[in-house]
């Protein structure tokens, strides 16, 4: 039974490791992506514009390899906004310090 409180969510390291296989970092960037529908958070070792596309494809479409990812320029659901990027229900801020400001 629920307590009426959302469970504490810890960011996963799904973007750094998929099915036990470490992924290569692009410039050792760490991007937190958030799912606006259910509050999931995942950390990717990718720039934010790639991380939101990979999160969408990995968790929503079942594509589980970064090398199979279409990339932002080829994904019709990818959008750029003033503060960040979105793909499907996933967002990532351009400036990760925004997440620490709250």
Q: What is the pLDDT of residue 76?
A: 94
Of 33, 34, 13, 35, give the one whose Cα is nearest residue 25: 13
Tell me what pLDDT residue 102 has.
52
In a domain, 8, yes or no: no
Which pLDDT tens digit goes with each residue over 57-82? 999 999 877 778 888 999 999 999 99
Report residue 87 as tokens.
Answer: 């793909």
Q: Does residue 4 lie in a domain region?
A: no
Is residue 47 included in any domain, yes or no?
yes
Tell me the per-residue pLDDT of 1-57, one tens digit each, with 9 for 90 and over: 444 434 444 444 444 444 333 445 444 789 999 999 999 999 999 999 999 999 999
Domain assignment of residue 3, yes or no: no
Q: Is residue 11 part of a domain?
A: no
Q: For residue 67, is it within any domain?
A: yes
Domains identified in the chain, total number: 1
Tell me whether residue 12 is in a domain.
no
Q: How far apart are CA 46 and CA 102, in angstroms?
A: 23
Q: How far apart (Å, rounded) are the C-alpha atoms in residues 69 and 78?
A: 12
Domain of residue 63 covers 17-100
Q: Is 7 among the domain residues?
A: no
């Amino acid at each position: 039974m629920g307590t009426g409180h959302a469970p504490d969510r810890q960011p996963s390291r799904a973007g750094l490791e998929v099915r036990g296989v470490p992924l290569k970092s692009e410039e050792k960037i760490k991007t937190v992506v958030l799912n606006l529908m259910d509050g999931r958070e995942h950390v990717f070792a990718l720039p934010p514009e790639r991380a939101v596309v990979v999160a969408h494809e990995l968790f929503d479409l079942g594509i589980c390899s970064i090398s199979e990812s279409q990339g932002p320029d080829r994904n019709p659901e990818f959008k750029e906004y003033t503060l960040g990027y979105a793909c499907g229900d996933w967002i990532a801020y351009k400036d990760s310090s925004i997440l620490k400001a709250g």
